[in-house]
Every structure is written in structure tokens, then in C-alpha cells.
Amino acid sequence: MNAIDDYLAGQPEPQRTTLAALRTTIAALLPRAEESIAYGAPAWKADGTSVAGFAGFAKHCAYLPFSGAVTESLAPELTAYTITKGSVTFATDRPLPKTVVERLVAARLAELSMVPDAKGVARDFHPDGGLKAKGRLKDGELHGDWSWWRKDGSLLRTGSFDGGRQVGTWTTYDGVGDPVTVKDFGR
């Protein structure tokens, strides 16, 4: 058993069954995200950042978007639920519809896209939670070393920027990681 299995095993019915169904939905939407526990609740992390999660309570269940901006931006679509900055609450015996979860996950991934984290690293994600691109920004421009990945997770390209301008050696890789093209952009 893993940590999420343990969490679910500790939930009473009908929460356990309802949250297990939500787990299946999130896992299908984010197959390349890492299942973990964040803030004591099950969570899916894309490149180390929480994207989606859930929690069970005595009188309700909650979807955790890990961002108040997500629930705020989707508030008109979530009128059937109680929303707060940190959760979308729903009945203990009825999982959130897949379409609602899809919108919540997509909104969180979009929010994370190309926004530098505390270490200054910006990332972009594929819709399944897989990393699409990663590098640094300087004054809103791509700067320093960058990498891009295909939808299947294989490395696509590496290269560097200086204030948004391609510099240095750029390499494009085939699906198994072998270099296909190498181009020098100079400094």
C-alpha cells in the first residue's frame, strides 16, 4: 500500500468510495504526476508542485486545487458546490463529475505555466501533468538553459537563451534520447 491507499483506508464510508472514485479521475487526468501526501492530504504533483488533491471530512469531501486563484476563476462554473480559496466541497456520497475535475486540473496547470517558482524556475506542462518545458526567465524573457520534453516524457530539445535570444549549442533528440541535430547559435 502507498500513502494514498493508507489515507483512503482510514476514511469511513461513503467517503472512502467517493474519494476513491475521485482518485481514479485525477490519476487518469494526471498520469505523469507523482502521487503523494501534501498538507496531510492526497495530492498529485507535477515537477514537485501540487496540482490536485482531495480530503475527506465527517460531513463532506473536498477537492483541493492548491490555489485560491483556481476556485476564484472557476466560481461561475462551481455554483453547485461550496467553494473556498482552498477547496471545492461536495457530498460524501457523490464524487465530483469528471468534467468539473478536468476544468480544475486544467486551470491549475495553466496557472503554473511559465510562472517562476521561488527558485526562479519557470515550467510549462502538458495537459497530463508531464513537464513540457523548464528553464529561467529574466525580465519576462527566456534566459539561461532550457529543456523541452515530448508528451511521452522523452527529452525533445535543450538550448540556452540570453534575454530571449538563442545562444550556444542547441540539441534536438529523437524519441530514445539520441541527438538528431546540433546547432551552434554562438554567443
Give the mean model confidence (pLDDT) for residues 163-167: 95
Backbone angles phi, psi at 180, to 5 degrees: -105, -45
Is 90 exceeded by the pLDDT of residue 117? no
pLDDT(124) > 80: yes
pLDDT at 161 over 90: yes
Determine whether 1 is exposed, middle or buried from the number of CB atoms within 10 Å of its CB (0-12, 13-18, 19+): exposed
What is the average pLDDT value for the chain, to the nearest integer? 95
The pLDDT of 91-112, averaged and rounded, is 96
Query: pTM of the predicted model, to two decimals?
Result: 0.90
In this predicted structure, the answer to whether residue 37 has a pLDDT above a threshold of 70 is: yes
The pLDDT assigned to 85 comes to 86
User: Is residue 152 predicted with pLDDT exceeding 70?
Assistant: yes
Express as a percent the part of the chain with pLDDT over 70: 99
User: Which pLDDT band holds residue 1 (cuts at 50, 70, 90)?
Assistant: low
pLDDT of residue 186: 82
Give the start-end residues of each E strand in the chain.
Answer: 34-38, 41-46, 49-56, 61-64, 82-83, 88-90, 121-125, 131-138, 141-149, 155-162, 165-173, 179-184
